[in-house]
Structure 1
């Protein structure tokens, strides 16, 4: 899906909240348990993994900037990651992390006002609402604390109030999606359904990115011209896809694209190539137990 009529957000943060901050009650600390017990997972066979590496390498040699991705096929248990050692600025993808931390604190007990905040933050990518929710979960320290308790080790929330400058790796964002959607995870079923409902109904102009791989889609994107990169664009997309009977969690992060459209094209093509390999491969996966 390509971009049509996207209105750019001038800044990641605003001083004003989405509404009256005093009406937001800080969430109570929630006990966080690991999903399941022993989980049988797998990796792509070496030959298939190297073939996909080469395919992505060939494509990115023709593209400006850099990019990385991670995919987890929950149907087969296969995991794949690519070029993700160096973290990326998340921009509005950080709103998914904020949503997870907030829902963990609420445990299914959201007020009408809190539903307005979370809905606008995800569906409309409203920065004022994200700002307010970030404050509610304790800002940088609060989000870091939640993520570390979840085993999300390579994500560093932004300093002060700058949640949009949160840096992360694709695999960490796949982990965030796992915690947000896992039936054996700490979120109540009502919260899992609510999160997917929001991500399945973002503004049409913001429904680009991993949706290019097709199927049923729940996603959140991030886009930002970064001053530290001389105004070049950071373009990110994360989400859950249902493709040909496969339940996929995917994160594609990129930076230093000359235009927003160029970055979107890169992210979309990477998602298509990776999802195609994981869904068409009939190879036997190498199983491993993860405790």
Structure 2
């Protein structure tokens, strides 16, 4: 049995046109003049703070093979930061978060069937590829996902063609935007769908709890990881991790993408090292707006 092959792309676009949400949805906070909606205030990292974090991350990569980049958004302070993300990375199974967002938008005002819930749960909790294939085709594959992401302002992500969703290429800041659209109370998803997505990402198979979770210590984590020995890189590993962390009073959205590690363990270590540096720096030096 397959998910019914309805015109979900059209449904996605209709749902996106009503981003304010249905009656009773949590309203987006009113922003001050010149301020981005959704924030009480914007706390921008100073040039000195950015340079210090740049240097810390550069030091962390000195003995690491391959290439790495990250982006982080502290929703508590409003601070945003990106590192080495000019060239896109292959997402591998992190693309499943993009598929999840598009699918839930297509079902925005509908209840998911038991079969659909099974597919979505397997895709996120177990990183099941067959479930991802089916859901990718349901949302319209490459063209469908591209249209949805562009409507959401995620414009530097190129979904993979055909069934090759794992070959989607993106930047860390784009994946942070995907996490925003998936979890933001003022975003395009109703509260029930947001809670559902976070429950899935907070209960992945224990063997897949690594990556950005390493930076959370005793905090709360909702994440999705991706790993793949890439033919395009002669079998070297792509290892990625994205997620929402609640750490030391901060609500963080973080994406760390890497490629060309000699093995998965090396890639995981690189991801975790960068995540720890970025999160510890932001939570140590920044305080919540109004605190």
Normalising to structure 2: TM-score of the pair? 0.88
Q: CA deviation at 1:209?
A: 0.3
Among 114, 117, 123, the alignment partner of 2:116 is 114
Does the 8 Å CA contact 1:24/1:114 hold for their aligned counterparts?
A: no
Q: Where do 4+ consecutive residues of structure 1 move more than 6 Å?
A: none
1:133 and 2:114 aligned? no
Alignment of 1:66-105 (within 5 A): 66-105=67-106
Which residues of structure 2 form unaligned runs of 5+?
21-27
Within 2, Cα distance between the matches of 1:91 and 1:80? Answer: 23
Q: Distance in 2 between matches of 1:282 and 1:56?
A: 17
Partner of 2:183: 181
Q: Which 10-residue stretch deviates more, 68-77 or 33-42?
A: 33-42
Equivalent position of 1:217 in the other structure: 221
Output one character per residue of 1:191-250: Cα deviation in whole Å (capped at 9) or x when no partner.
Answer: 000000000000000010000001110000000000111100000000000000100000
Separation (CA, whole Å) in 1 of partners of 2:77 and 2:238 = 31
Give, in whole Å, the separation in 2 of the partners of 1:135 and 1:259: 31
Residue 251 of structure 2 is aligned to residue 253 of structure 1: no
Distance 1:70 1:237 in 2: 11
User: Do the aligned residues in 1 keep the contact of 2:96 with 2:123 (CA within 8 Å)?
Assistant: yes
Relative to the length of structure 1, the TM-score reads 0.88
Query: Cα deviations across residues 136-172 of structure 1 (Å, max 9, x unaligned)?
Result: 0000000000000000010000022210000000000
Query: CA 1:99/1:113 → structure 2, altered by over 3 Å: closer, same or farther?
Result: same
Alignment of 1:263-282 (within 5 A): 263-282=267-286
Give how far 1:24 is off.
5.5
For residues 21 and 189 of structure 1, the distance between their equivalents in structure 2, rounded to whole angstroms, comes to 27
Distance 1:282 1:130, change over 3 A: closer
Shift of 1:43: 2.4
Q: CA deviation at 1:22?
A: 5.5
Please give the root-mean-square deviation of Cα atoms over the aligned residues, in Å. 1.6
1:31 to 15, 18, 31: 15
Secondary structure at 1:31's aligned position in 2?
Answer: helix
Q: How many residues align?
A: 266
Partner of 1:48: 49
Distance (whole Å) between structure 2 residues aligned to residue 284 and residue 143 of structure 1: 35
Give the number of the structure with larger relative contact order, counting CA–CA contacts within 8 Å between residues 6 or more apart: 1
Which of the two has greater strand per residue?
1
Cα 1:143–1:96 shift into 2, 3 Å: same
8 Å CA contact 1:157, 1:165 repeated in 2: yes
